[in-house]
Structure 1
Amino acid sequence: MRLQVRLLGTVELRVDGQVVTPGAAKRRAVLAGLALEANRAVSLPRLAEMVWSETPPTSAVANLRSHAAELRRTVGDRLVAHPNAYELRLGPEELDVATFQRLAAEARVLLATAESASAIATLTAALAHWRGPSADGLPRGTALDNRWASLDEQRLQVFEELAEARLAGGQHGTLLPELRGHLAAHPLRERAWGQLMLALYRCGDVPAALTVYRDARAILDEQLGIEPGEELSGLHRAILDRAPELSCAPPAAAVVTAPPAPAVEARPAVGWAVPRELPAGPVTFVGRTSEAAEVVAAVGGETPAAVVVTGAAGSGKTALVVRAAHTVAAAFPDGQVFVDLGYQTSVTPGEVLARVLRALGVAAADVPANTDERAGWFHSLVAGRPLLLVVDGVTRAAQVRPLLPAGPGPALIVVGQRHLSSLDGVRRVVLRPLGALPARDLLAAFAGPERLAADPIATAGLVRLCAGSVLALRIAGTRLARWPAFPVAGLLAQFGDGRDRLDLLAYEDLSVRASLAAGVAAVRSEDEVAGRLFELLGAHPDNPPLVDRAATQLGVSPQRVRRALEDLVDAHLVHPDGPGGYRLPALVRDYAAELAAMPSVPTHPMTSPRVGPVAA
């Protein structure tokens, strides 16, 4: 019997090449614990610590024996029972962790002997065993946590060793998007910051290399309160001095005699400019690290594609996307186009195409009148070109459908409140409300951590009031920063009664109310019934009507109300609440109540506990 246990990602068991489902999470934890200690007996008490995050129950031993019995049915005599212990016997290539570590060790020997080409191949093979975070899906808080953390750290080290070898091999150009994606997910890796600086320098982009150093310094100071180490700061000085040792000599094997390549025109003679339209990225960016990494990964690989970033009004969609776009910008040397539709449903696909064509250098008079012709010209211009398109404020899939990449080269990032589900072949990143800890960190970035620490109760109340809204937190933090002597409790008291909350959640050009109004207006323009239903829910947020009651009051069928509810959920204006129920999220209900208070909104008494189920 040939086994393969895979722990570098979702736990997986293969028997003679066939995937076998190990069962529930605790049974997979038993398999993982025994595999990590392969060919050694693991006592039942030790195994229990690997499976349960808290004190094991009194039935732990019986449960472990039951899990072991089920595993034995699959792996046979490979699982050996000892007195109060079990042992899983595996061969040298039957555990991906062992294979990964062996390949990494072999590569380090090759690096020490200057065999960079072989080291690159071996390190690449080692990383190929990873399919996601180690032991993805297993219970956390167990005795295995340190093992998983160690493995994840080893993965980062091997990636950076591979990057070092590729830099030595002259692969600095192709390495840029991978390094940017790595740093988007792991922004505290000083070694990787240095590698990105060196890769940019060797690509001839000295200003970008110096900008990366400033970014690294700001992030280290913001998140750890430290300055870059001597290695990174020394590299910065060397780049400023244009130190000759930073240049990369091509490997000897790469020096070959070849006929000169035919001249290739760098740009088409007509209709091409190199746009650099990305707005400035946010100076303060807290949380959302994993979401930013998802966006970077979606467009920064070898085959750029499309990604849709969605979330409620004020969730920080634009800030995240702009940051991610700057992260991968160097991988798109043919330009970056940024279009803001402002959540205007009246903007047509043809207008979006015309805007993009003009950005690429097509004269306004030369833009075809027909939308299909515009789309055809656009795809001809961008075919095979590394061009990044960012379209913000999208309300309908049709507005960006003609921009979807038809092949490798261009990439598209779309920002909107709706999921735009009819767009095929795109990745979707959904921004949920910030959790309490990152929300507090964002508030602290504006107001100062010492000030929040001085009144933790009021700080917690202010965080709850902002309900995970990045925009609300930025406004509250800005207000505190504007008045350094004003206590946190004082601002919380001003917000307290809720009647003026949206008035206070506005500062200069930042406004929660305006953000919500744009989202509601977009829904209303597409679906009048959804807009009226939203106001109806706002009139009685604590006792919203059942579907039939709402249908009667709105003068439409129950099926039409259900469709309107689906539209509101898709726009993040209503949240599902239990089996078939719905609720207005915090801050949204404040705006809905304002709309409901207008004279045109019906205010019939309601007695039902919540909106009924969508299912017919």
Structure 2
Amino acid sequence: MTMTTTMTSRRIRLSVLGPVRAWRGDQELDLGAPQQRVVVGVLALREGRQATLEALIDAVWDGDPPRTATLTLRTYISRLRQIFGTDVIATVNGGYLMRLEPHALDLTEFTAAVTRARTARDGGDHSTAAQAFHHAESLWHGSALADVPGAYAAAQRVRLERERHTATEERLALDIGTERAGAAVIDLTALVEQHPLDEGLSGLLMLGLYRTGRQAAAIAEYQRIRARLADELGLDPGAALRDVHQRILTGEPVPALAAPVWEQPAVAVVTSAPEQLPLGIRDFVGRTALIEQLTEVLVTREPGTPVVGIVGLGGIGTSALALHLAHRIRPEFPDGQLYADLREDRDVLTGFLRAVGVPAADIPHDPADRAALWRTVTCGRRLLVLIDHARTRAQVAPLLPAGTGSAVILTGGRRIPELPVTRWVSLSAFEPEESVELFRRVAGRDRVDTEHRAALDFADACSHLPLAVRLGAARLAARPGWSVASIGERLRVEMRQPVAVHEDCILVEAPFERDLAVLQAADPLAAVAFGLVALVDDDEVTVDTAARLLDLPETEAERLMETMVDAHLVEPTGYQRYRYLDIVRWFARRKAIAAHTQAYREAVLGRLGKPFPASLPKRALRAV
């Protein structure tokens, strides 16, 4: 019996560099259902090492196993033993391992071939190295684990594809120094189309074109990637690629290459999966349809790096939504999640490079070279990057990963048109019932449901701004003797004071202060108009009304109102029609009170032939 089972195991061959397949001799084996194939993939990729029961369960059910997971997994193992033979899958210390003969697994053969190739190359035997690299490439039959579902397979697929990509580059670097240069150029042209921002591939293509007598085409390729980097990322090529370009321009002989000349052998990148996302918000509510839409954009498998930009009024929840969305899709990005708050004064790019494993000593001092290194180390990885409170293209562009597989979420006060953003979203206030649901989760469900109408009135007084609703609900939760109606009345009184007096009001208005400061720096006249136009007591403000209040031509008044729309301080309601959220209107009025004398404010409203608004007592208009 022992001899029979041993001979059975020796005839087993496995392939994971493509769909997961197995053979006994020349006969292909049926590996069963998708989840059973996950088990095969996990055991095969361990290459003779043990896989714990917990690791297998996590891989099969993506971290959300049923109560029967252990029993079901043992059923899969039993079935696989019937398929492979009883000696192929062994039970060890409560886990399992797969015993295969040397080279029975295509991944093992690929790794060995690449090792032989690099050893030969480093020893100067480029012919043997090229043959070994070509053999390694021939073992691939599509994407690794192509028919295996789940996050585990996705993570391993990224890792293996990165190894394949690196080996392919090294093979092409050798080929362009031999009689295979013409074929290498064809391969490189196709790869550059798939990875248009990969400076390594473009540099190889330039050298291949140059060595085959196509100097003009090599220069054109440099101009293409330089323009693409500038248009999409606002960056210049790295120093190594510029050096290759210069050598081609001056007609210097290009020797046969053992490896791409822009590689930095001293940079020993240790693969790591950073997890930098701040804690998610446990009581997050709403935005359900929008989250589904943005998830579809970010987890696409289309070429390139999808970028979603979420903008809106301060306090409306852009950061909360971005963080909630990032936590939701994080399993799709197994190479790690990176986070940066651009309000903080620090070198974000250096921090990102260190987070993915680049030693501090190997990070270039030159910003362009740092950005180029970032594009190199991120190409082929599946990283999720969350950039909070972005303001300018110069801040963001160097942080965008290269290649296909990663994704970026941006938040900010306004759009940055110069960035290659896949989709911009302007966040609006909550729907009424979303506000009440947030109120319930913070203040207590029973308490709020008892005074549902009062809760709706309170949320309406907050203009359904999530930050204001949350702070009011937290205030109520800390005061069990108060009713919802009483806190709503206190809010209405506090909002109408000429100066914000309660700490909650100050906290709500802090983001408005930041938005107004940005507007003041960009367009001082728009910042003045923001306060003065808010003095009128109309639900909507037309361009005609704004022009008369400001004593300006309608074209200039419209420009100022649209500038405020871009800053999310007012909302458009139709053609040349605008409105303030009530909570923003009272903030704007306080700014006007602080900035202008009573006589001036009376004169401004007098241009409309209207009295002071009833909701703003005249005594409150005294200069503060």
1:456 and 1:552, CA in 2 relative to 1: closer, same or farther beyond 3 A? closer
Q: What pairs with 1:417-428 in structure 2 (closer than 5 Å)?
A: 417-428=413-424
Q: Deviations over 1:157-213 (max 9, x none)?
A: xxxxxxx95334429999xxxxxxxxxxxxxxxxxxxxxxx999537579982xx58
Shift of 1:313: 1.8
Please give the secondary structure, in 2, of the residue aligned with 1:598: helix
**Within 5 Å, which residues of 2 pair with 1:39-78?**
none
Report how far residue 543 of structure 1 moved. Answer: 9.2
Partner of 1:576: 572
Which whole-Å CA distance do the structure 1 matches of 2:40 and 2:568 have between them? 42
Distance 1:505 1:202 in 2: 55
**Matched residue type, 2:286:** G
2:339 is paired with a residue of what secondary structure?
strand
**Higher CA-based Rg:** 2
Aligned to 1:109: none
1:579 positional shift = 2.8
Determine whether 1:202 maps to 2:56: yes
Q: Are residues 207 and 281 of structure 1, via their aligned partners in 2, closer, same or farther at CA, if it must alter by over 3 Å? A: farther
Q: Runs of 5+ in structure 2 lacking a partner?
A: 1-18, 20-31, 43-51, 85-97, 116-158, 163-266, 611-624
Query: What pairs with 1:473-488 in structure 2 (closer than 5 Å)?
Result: 473-488=469-484
Provide, for residues 472-506 of structure 1, a one-character-per-residue CA deviation record: whole Å limited to 9, x for no partner.
11112111211223111111111123325995885
Structure 1, 397-406 or 453-462: larger mean CA deviation: 397-406
Measured in 1, the distance between the counterparts of 2:486 and 2:328 equals 39
Whether 2:279 is the aligned partner of 1:284: answer no
Which amino acid counterpart does residue 577 of structure 2 have in structure 1? G
- Report how far residue 457 of structure 1 moved: 2.6
Q: 1:317 to 1:206 in 2, by over 3 A?
A: farther
Query: Is structure 2 residue 329 aligned with structure 1 residue 332?
Result: no
Distance of aligned partners of 1:548 and 1:472 in 2 relative to their CA distance in 1, 3 Å threshold: closer
Say if 1:305 and 1:405, in contact at 8 Å, map to a contact too. Answer: no
**Identity across the alignment (%):** 29
Cα distance, 1:589 vs structure 2: 1.0
C-alpha distance 244-366 of structure 1, shift in aligned 2 (>3 A): same
1:167 has 2:35 as partner: yes
Q: How does 1:223-302 map to 2 (within 5 A)?
A: 232=66, 234-235=67-68, 238=69, 244-245=74-75, 258=106, 260-262=109-111, 269-270=268-269, 273-302=272-301
- Using the alignment, how far apart are the partners of 1:352 and 1:555 within structure 2? 45
Q: CA deviation at 1:381?
A: 1.4
Pair 1:422–1:257, CA change in 2 (3 A): closer
Per-residue CA deviation, residues 434-487 of structure 1 (Å, 9 max, x unaligned), is 111121111111222221222233122112112221111111211121122311
Answer whether contact 1:172 1:199 (CA < 8 A) is retained.
Answer: no
Give the C-alpha shift of residue 532 in structure 1.
2.2
Q: Distance in 2 between matches of 1:503 and 1:415?
A: 27
Quote the Cα distance in structure 2 between the aligned partners of 1:503 and 1:173: 62
Shift of 1:567: 2.5
1:338 Cα offset (Å): 0.5
Q: Which residue of 1 aligns with 2:496?
A: 499
Cα 1:337–1:173 shift into 2, 3 Å: farther
Unaligned runs of 5+ in 1: 1-120, 122-163, 175-197, 214-231, 611-616
Output the CA distance in 2 between the equivalents of 1:173 and 1:525. Answer: 57
| TM-score (norm: length of structure 2) | 0.54
CA contact (8 A) 1:281 1:323 kept: yes
CA distance change for structure 1 residues 172 and 608 in 2, over 3 Å: closer, same or farther?
farther
Query: In the superposition, relative to structure 1, how do residues 243 and 460 fare at CA in structure 2: closer, same or farther (>3 Å)?
Result: same
Q: Which amino acid aligns with 1:336?
A: Q
Contact 2:539 2:579 in 1 (8 A): no
- Within 2, Cα distance between the matches of 1:515 and 1:371? 31
Taking only aligned residues, the RMSD between alpha carbons, in angstroms, comes to 4.3
1:452 aligns with 2:448: yes
CA contact (8 A) 1:306 1:412 kept: yes
- Report the Cα offset of residue 530 of structure 1: 2.4
Mark the CA change 1:334 to 1:456 in structure 2 (over 3 Å): closer, same or farther. closer
Residue in structure 1 matching 2:408, options 402, 406, 412 = 412
1:385 CA displacement: 0.8
Q: Which runs of structure 2 are paired with 1:74-473 in the superposition (5 Å)? A: 166-170=34-38, 202=56, 209=63, 232=66, 234-235=67-68, 238=69, 244-245=74-75, 258=106, 260-262=109-111, 269-270=268-269, 273-303=272-302, 305-342=306-343, 351-362=347-358, 367-473=363-469
Aligned residues: 395
Match runs of 1:500-579 below 5 Å: 500=497, 503=500, 506-507=503-504, 511-540=507-536, 542=538, 559=555, 561-579=557-575
The Cα of 1:283 is off from its aligned counterpart by 0.9
- Report the residue type matching 2:334 in the other structure: P
Matched letter for residue 325 of structure 2: A
Residue identity matched to 1:471: L
Q: Is the 8 A contact 2:57 2:73 kept in 1?
A: no
- Structure 2 CA distance for aligned equivalents of residues 333 and 298 of structure 1: 18
593 and 206 in structure 1: CA distance in 2 versus 1, 3 angstrom threshold: farther
Cα shift at 1:290: 1.9
Hey, what's the Cα distance between the residues in 1 that align with 2:413 and 2:572?
Answer: 16
Query: Structure 1 residues 609, 272: closer, same or farther in 2, change over 3 A?
Result: farther
Aligned residue for 2:429, secondary structure, equals coil
Contact 2:275 2:337 in 1 (8 A): yes
CA separation of 1:364 and 1:571: change in aligned 2, threshold 3 A: farther
Q: 1:419 to 1:562 in 2, by over 3 A?
A: same
Output the amino acid matched with 1:170: V
